[in-house]
Structures are given as structure tokens and as C-alpha cells.
Structure 1
Amino acid sequence: MPEAMETDGLTVGQVSARLGVTVRALHHWDEIGLAEPSLRTAAGYRLYTAADLARLHRVIVYREIGLGLDRIRAVLDDSATDVPGALRAQRAQVAERIDRLRRLGDGLDRMIDAHERGLLLTAEQQAAILGPDWNPDWPAQARARYGDTPQWRQFAERAASRGPQEWQAVADAVTDLDRALGDAMDAGVAPGSQAANQLVERHREVFASYFPLTRRMQVCLARGYENDPGFAAHYDGVRPGLAGWFRKIVDASARAHGIDPDTATWE
């Protein structure tokens, strides 16, 4: 490599500042022979000429559009390389990444909306799926009350991936469970029996559509079903006294698993 006076070229530090490339990258490109400085000073410092800078500009341009270093070398040095073909292939990869990023952006928007709104359904869709007694203000009220809890975050994560069909399946599962609970109460199914315990487990499985429900949380939820006027009205609308009967079968199941329903907390 020819020697030169300092004024004949730019040092690595000067090139780094001028082109916005790290010194480490310049050293690496030099080591692999991709963009070597043509000169060195008597003290051994690298110096880049105008021609070296022109090559570096080309390396940077191709790197910024996503070509790998080996592909850049081929484009710059191999006369047999189909440059337009290489660029078209890179353009196709960029288009795929753009599409993935667009889908990621859409998913993030849905996740944000789900955390803020709960249900990503219009008021009309909510009425059609959840029934005429459904109040579209309930999700906002639930967020105001439970928005800082892990359960709301879990609910939002599930809601973000659901559309009307998925919510219809959830609503159908809830309706089927309510009907099964009412039929079991009418048939005299006793708390603590195998049939009653199976219904308790089914309730936990169905409720997992919203967020995972521990046995202790289920006890608290059943207590709320009986004591909250809105919940009690719903269950008693299925069968008079159903809210109280449901609490009894949940409490009996909890005791069988070593949980005292009287002291159970939301955990």
C-alpha cells in the first residue's frame, strides 16, 4: 500500500464523521477487503482517497437498502452479477418486511384499543351477539374499575385477537353453560356431587375465555353473582334461585380442594 502525506487523504476518524459510519465498521470492511483505504501514512495510519470515499458511498447505499456485505461485494466487483435482479430480489424482501410491519402495526392498534375499550365490537355487534339486555357501556365501566388489574390486561390480550365470530362462540358457550346450570338445579343436583363439580370446572373453562380463573377467584366471583343485583338478576332470570345455588356448588368444590370459601380472596 503506497505511503502518503497526511494531506493526501482522510483518516478513519474523518471518514467516520463525514459518512456517519462507525470506525469499527470501517475497520471491518477494510479487514474483509470490501472497502480498503488506498494509502497509509509513514506512521501506518490508514488514509482514504476520493476514489475510496466513492466506493464507501456505494457500500453505504447498498447496505441501507438491506443487502448483505457479500452481496454488496458481488454487486461492486463481479461483472457477472445481475445487479437489477439483485435489487429486485431485495425490493421483494423489503416489500415483505413492510407487509409484516403493517400487520404488526395493525395488531398493536387492536391491542391498544382492546386495553382501552375491552370489546372491539360496535354497539350493534354487541347487541346482536350478547343480547338486547347487554349494555354497551359495561366494558368502559369495567375498565374504569378493573383497568389496572392483571385480569383486565389478560382480558385485553384475548379480546385483541377476537372478532364477531369468536365472540359469538364465547357467547354461545356462556348461554349453554347457563342452560346446563339451570337444568342441573331443576334436576336436584347436589353441591359436592360429581355432576355439580363437573359444572364448576366447566364454568372455569368457559370463563377462561376472559382470563384465567383460579378456584379462589371463582369463589369470589360466585359470591358476587349472588350479592350483586345485576348478576343475580341475570342468573335468577335463567332460573329463580340459580345465583344462590351456583354459589353453593362452587363453595362445595372449593372445600374439596382445601379452600375455605368464607376466607377466600381474589388471588
Structure 2
Amino acid sequence: MTDQADAGRTIGAAAASTGVTIRTLHHWDAIGLVCPTERTDAGYRIYTSADLARVHRVLIYRGLGVPLDEIKTVLDAPAADATSSLRRQRDELRERAVRLQQMADGMDRLIEARESGILLSADEQIEIFGEHWQPVWTTQAHERWGDTAQWAQYAERAADRTAEDWQQIADSVDALNADLATAYRAGVLPGSDEANALAERHRASIDTYFDCTPAMHICIARTYLTDPNYSIFFDSLAPVLTPWLSAIIHANASWSRMD
């Protein structure tokens, strides 16, 4: 047995000096990670300078994310084995750092998408969506709908899309618009099978950006009639196309609810 003043510190004093709680030191003692090696004449277990140094080594490894069982292996193993374990932990930390950086990059893209609506330059947008496209539209859309669940969905999907993805979407929309104009000129009636199929294609195209139910589709159709930007665009495909498009959307939504 050793005198406390010469041998070290009680668990309370050890906790205070290392910044570790008494409960944690008890736990480390129970699992054999750091065990006080001396006792006072009164039988109290105390931490020697070597024990306190081991506590600090544990804290270093724990701060690096090494699990407690691995820390014990490192501290108790021969030098060669300890080095091998540390190399393995280092490699895992580097892999984790790469994953965390990827997650941070993804978060940056999501933040940018929520603010801008699309992760393309103005020139790229015009090249993909055509000369009629105005990049300011995405800014206006954010100002108008930025607080909605639909915009949040749109941003989440936009964050993962490349220029090639947007090109495929744009090509699909162009084909749909051409088919809509052709059907309108051919006198296809709202509510007919052909008109309903086109309306469903139109709803699916919106579903690319955010979930679009038949009820939501009707709301969007009403916007086409009230917002001149939409009517100007659709009417440029075929004169007075906008009200016909709205009509086939309404008829298809009504049919969908009865189906």
C-alpha cells in the first residue's frame, strides 16, 4: 500500500484533473481499460501518474473516434500489433472523412438547389431548354413557391441531376408539347382516350419535379389560364392551345377520380 500523496489521486481527484466523469472512470475500470493500480492505507483505490497518463491516452484515441475495445487493444498490445491496429483505424477514419465530405458536398448542392432551383448556369439552361427559356424564371419560381413542400421536393431532385439528366427531361417535354399541339390541331376532344393519355403524360412530366396528384394537376391547369407567362408559351405551340390543355387536364382528373 502507498501513501495517497505519493501514489496519486483518488477517483474524484483523477476525474477533476482529466476532465472525465467519475462514472466514466468507474466504467473504464469495470471493462479493464484504465484500472487504478494503488490503494491508500484506508483501502481507497487511487490513480498513479502512469494511470493518469493512460487516461489521457484513452482520451486522445477516443477523440479520434476509436472504439473503447480497440483502444484497449492498442494500449495493451505489443508495439507491432498496436501499430497495425492504429493503421487500420487511420484508414477507417480516412474513409469516413471521404464519406463525410461527400455528404457535405451533397448538402451544399441541396442548399444551392433550394435557393436557385436548378444547378445549371444561365447559358446551360438556355442551351438545354431552348431560346425561349429565361433563367430568371427559376428565381421567380423560388420567390413565389420557395416555402412550399413542392419546391422542397423539386430542390431535392434537382440537387442530384446532371446536365445530361436535364437534357433528357427537356427532350421528353419537347416531345410531349409537340404531341399536345398535334392533337389539338387534329381536334382531339377532352375526355377522349387519346386526350386522357396526353393529360397523363403531362402529369407525369410534372411528377418529374414533384409529386403531382390529379387534384394538384387541376390547380396547375388553372394557373396556366391565369398566368400570362404560361398561356403565351403554350399558345406559341398552337393558337389557343392553353384552354384546350386545361380542359383535357380537368377531364382526365375527373375520369381518374371515378376510376
TM-score, normalised by the number of residues in structure 2: 0.91
Is the CA contact (8 Å cut-off) linking 2:36 and 2:48 kept in structure 1? yes
Counterparts of 1:178 and 1:16, CA distance in 2:
72
1:241 aligns with 240
Alignment partner of 2:110: what SS? Answer: helix
Is the CA contact (8 Å cut-off) linking 1:6 and 1:41 kept in structure 2? no
Counterparts of 1:186 and 1:106, CA distance in 2:
48
**Residues 192-207 of structure 1 aligned to structure 2 (within 5 Å):** 192-207=191-206
2:163 aligns with 164
Counterparts of 1:240 and 1:105, CA distance in 2:
48
1:152 aligns with 151
Is the CA contact (8 Å cut-off) linking 2:184 and 2:241 kept in structure 1? yes
1:47 aligns with 46
Give deviations 1:190-229, integer Å, cap 9, x for gaps. 2111221111111111111211112122112112223322
Shifted more, 55-64 versus 75-84: the winner is 75-84
2:139 aligns with 140
Is the CA contact (8 Å cut-off) linking 2:75 and 2:82 kept in structure 1? no
Counterparts of 1:159 and 1:56, CA distance in 2:
49
Counterparts of 1:51 and 1:186, CA distance in 2:
90
Shifted more, 166-175 versus 217-226: the winner is 217-226
Alignment partner of 2:133: what SS? Answer: coil
User: Alpha-carbon deviation of 1:7?
Assistant: 6.7
Counterparts of 1:99 and 1:243, CA distance in 2:
50
Q: Please tell me the residue identity of whatever aligns with 1:207.
A: I
Counterparts of 2:48 and 2:157, CA distance in 1:
59
User: Alpha-carbon deviation of 1:247?
Assistant: 1.0
User: Alpha-carbon deviation of 1:181?
Assistant: 1.0
Is 1:83 the counterpart of 2:93? The answer is no
1:35 aligns with 34
Is the CA contact (8 Å cut-off) linking 1:13 and 1:23 kept in structure 2? yes
State the identity as a percent: 47
* Between structures 1 and 2, the one with greater helix share: 2
User: Alpha-carbon deviation of 1:38?
Assistant: 1.5
Shifted more, 35-44 versus 160-169: the winner is 35-44
Gaps in structure 1 of 5+ consecutive residues: 260-267
Pair 1:227–1:67, CA change in 2 (3 A): closer
User: Alpha-carbon deviation of 1:186?
Assistant: 2.4
Is the CA contact (8 Å cut-off) linking 2:118 and 2:138 kept in structure 1? yes
Is 1:112 the counterpart of 2:111? The answer is yes
User: Alpha-carbon deviation of 1:4?
Assistant: 4.6
Is the CA contact (8 Å cut-off) linking 1:236 and 1:242 kept in structure 2? yes
Is the CA contact (8 Å cut-off) linking 1:4 and 1:39 kept in structure 2? no
**Residues 223-238 of structure 1 aligned to structure 2 (within 5 Å):** 223-238=222-237
Superposition RMSD on alpha carbons, in Å? 2.0
Counterparts of 1:95 and 1:78, CA distance in 2:
23
Alignment partner of 1:82: what SS? Answer: helix
Count of residue pairs the alignment pairs up: 258
Give deviations 1:120-160, integer Å, cap 9, x for gaps. 11111011011111111111111111111111111111111
Counterparts of 1:45 and 1:189, CA distance in 2:
94
Counterparts of 2:207 and 2:257, CA distance in 1:
22
Is the CA contact (8 Å cut-off) linking 1:74 and 1:81 kept in structure 2? no
Counterparts of 2:240 and 2:173, CA distance in 1:
18
Counterparts of 1:109 and 1:99, CA distance in 2:
15
User: Alpha-carbon deviation of 1:184?
Assistant: 1.6
Counterparts of 1:202 and 1:23, CA distance in 2:
66
Counterparts of 1:251 and 1:71, CA distance in 2:
65
